[in-house]
Amino acid sequence: MICHAGKDARSGYTGAMMLLHEQITHSLAGLKGLDSDAPATVAWSIEGGLAIAVDFTVVDSLSCAFRELRVSADELKAAGFDALQAWADSLCKKVTYLLEHIGPLECDTGAQTVLIRSTPPSKQPEQITFYEMLVQAPGTVSLRRYARAVHNDDRNLCDIQITHAVLTKLVQDIVAAIPSAATA
């Protein structure tokens, strides 16, 4: 499923946020009852080259679970590493409502990537869980959650479970954190 929202020329992505909110709400309503090991990918876009995709595994009336959320911004395709790093820094300041806080862990100018992780990760007696967000050229962000046993370095991808309202806020905050084309 792909939905499109327009970009308001007077306010950048601000005008499109309302349309994006409506598209997300409509998509979640259409997926209500989904409960599958095989993710159902839903994509939305905003005029100007912004694309969002989420791999849903569960959707009910108030919450959802997904394996990965991806955002790409065409306006950052030719941007330098500084713009990607600014996006990552802004994300860490805006996204403060997940299970753990997130912060930059590694910046690799050669690979044009910024790795963001939970700071600190959640520790239970038998496992450690954490968010991992990768900001990379050509202007993409991916968000995943991992779990690993306390005495093992092997990590396993696990679902991110959040309410519909938190998903909408998360997508809007990722989009709002995109550095403007003027600073990119």
Amino acid 8: pLDDT: 38
Q: Quick one: tokens of 153? A: 């370095």
Higher pLDDT, 39 or 15: 39
Dist. CA 158–CA 66, nearest whole Å:
8
Kindly report, residue by residue over 33-65, the tens digit of the pLDDT: 999 999 999 999 887 789 999 999 999 999 999
Q: Categorize the per-residue pLDDT at 19 as very low, low, confident or very high, splitting at 50, 70 and 90.
A: confident
Q: Supply the mean pLDDT for the chain.
A: 89
Dist. CA 30–CA 18, nearest whole Å:
18
pTM higher than the cut 0.85: yes
Higher pLDDT, 102 or 4: 102
Q: Categorize the per-residue pLDDT at 14 as very low, low, confident or very high, splitting at 50, 70 and 90.
A: low
Q: Categorize the per-residue pLDDT at 10 as very low, low, confident or very high, splitting at 50, 70 and 90.
A: very low
Distances (CA, A) of 45 to 48, 116, 123, 159, 180: 9, 24, 36, 23, 17
Dist. CA 136–CA 125, nearest whole Å:
33
End-to-end alpha carbon distance in the chain? 30
Higher pLDDT, 78 or 91: 91
Listed in sequence order, the residues at least 6 apart from 173 whose beta carbon sits closer than 8 Å to its beta carbon are 91, 94, 95
Mean pLDDT value of segment 13-40: 89
Backbone angles phi, psi at 121, to 5 degrees: -70, 165
